[in-house]
Chain A
Amino acid sequence: MKVAVLSGKGGTGKTFAATNLAASADNGVYVDCDVEEPNGHLFFKPQVEYTESVGVLVPQVDPQKCSGCRKCVEFCKFNALAYAAHTLMVFEEMCHSCGGCTLMCPTGALTEKVRAIGQVERGYSEDTLVLSGFLNPGEESGVPIIQKLLTMIPDNGAVTVLDAPPGSACTVLETIQDVDYCILVAEPTVFGVHNLAVVYELVTLFRKPYGVIINKYLSQDNPVTEFCSKSRLNIIGSIPFEQELGKKLADGVVVARHNGRYERVFKEILDRIDEEVASSHEAGAGIKR
């Protein structure tokens, strides 16, 4: 079972929920797809056993072969190429790796080379498999790193929790495309409703089964609960607003591993998701997105 944890903005508790859910499962898998700000590893502190650089293809020029025809410059819709003073200039960071310029080049002056944009890591934290992606600062898109991470998920049916980037950008679409279920983490405020609506729209667009976790929950009388009951969103769990939790988080502790009460909260959420995924598979047999 693959579950993605989403939220409309950063800081609502995605990593908190995702790390604790993965830790509450037996031999769970945690995948940090928030490659711009990966911080699940700060809680799991995994023993890293494998790292791999992730790169994208960009053109490189052989000036001896370049005839200055500029077919590549005209072709590139992203203006990653320019021709000035009889020199073909490549702006690697603007390249979208389509490879079109190398196809257009009539003299074979353009070939592709790999440009590193970040890396992935695999390691264990107790019985949890931790997969993390790291995008180098200043890079435009973490999608290639997320794609690499997804190939590293073992195909053994383990409970796999994907910690998605905040918001609803391409990186989030990439993260959720093959998951069985989406958890939407929200704070019980007016602002929280707005952020929840962003990811709610996304998961309904993708026709993914989903449920809401309200983080920093104080009472039933809050804008998110109201929004959920009005728009018929399923609330699958609430994390109480407690000082103790805040302290543990600040210490980088996976609370479910040290506190039976929190472990039960997360195990119950996992059980609920398991049931919902099973029933949606039955109901949705033959209906793929």
Chain B
Amino acid sequence: MDEEGIGLMKIAIPTAEKSMDAHVGDVFGRSPVFLIYDIESKGHEFIENDALHRPGGAGVQAAQLLVDHKVDVVITPQCGEKAQEVLRRAEIRICRSIEGSLQHNLQACLNDKLTDLEGGKQ
């Protein structure tokens, strides 16, 4: 990420509201919505996460959703082990989110200010 934008196309962030001013959601697998931001076109969309209502395996399903949307980076406060396994298999980078809005987190990511989320939960 030291060279802006190279090999980096789409960023996903869990959130509860469909607004760039909304905060990053507290959870990954059961996040109601994901923001998907395209760095090249600077466009964004909010996608619904059906995994929200699943009795189990929400993390894996949410990760699959992001893999299928060809995301390159996920910014999240936490991510379960199995979801991480799916994301990492697809070579998706997982960054730890910071305080503030989705916009703020996107900017921090683009400026390479975010750290990698390590290990399992939290």
Contacts and interface: CB of A to CB of B under 8 A. Distances in A.
Nearest to A74: B64
Contact of B64 (A73, A78, A94): A73
B86 A89 contact: yes
A91 B82 CA distance: 8
Interface string A39-73: 00000000000000000000000000000000001
A73 B51 CA distance: 13
Interface residues of B, number: 19
Interface stretch (B20-28, B33-41, B55-63, B114-122): B55-63
Interface of B is mostly: helix
B64 to A, nearest CB: 5
A94 B64 CA distance: 15
Nearest to A81: B60
B86 A94 contact: no
Nearest to B91: A85
Given A84-B67, A91-B82, A79 B90 contact: no
Nearest to B56: A78
B86 A84 contact: yes
A79 B57 contact: yes
Given A89-B86, A94-B57, A82 B63 contact: yes
B56 A79 contact: yes
Contacts of B56: 78-79, 94
Contacts of B64: 73, 79, 82-84
Contacts, number: 46
A215 B54 CA distance: 41
Interface string A79-106: 1101111010101001000000000000
A76 B90 CA distance: 20
Nearest to A73: B64
Contacts of A78: 55-57
A79 B54 contact: yes
Interface centre among A73, A76, A82 (most CB of B within 10 A): A82
Contacts of A76: 57
A81 to B, nearest CB: 8
Interface in B32-86: 51, 54-61, 63-64, 67, 82, 85-86
A73 B63 CA distance: 12
A77 B86 CA distance: 17
Given A79-B60, A82-B63, A94 B82 contact: yes
A125 B54 CA distance: 46
A73 B85 CA distance: 16
Interface string B74-106: 000000001001110111000000000000000
A91 B89 contact: no
Please provide the 9 A-B residue pairs with the shortest distance between their CB atoms, ordered closest to farther: A79-B57, A84-B90, A79-B60, A84-B89, A79-B61, A82-B86, A84-B67, A82-B64, A85-B90
Interface of A: 73, 76-80, 82-85, 87, 89, 91, 94
8 contacts: A73-B64, A76-B57, A78-B55, A84-B67, A85-B90, A89-B86, A91-B60, A91-B82
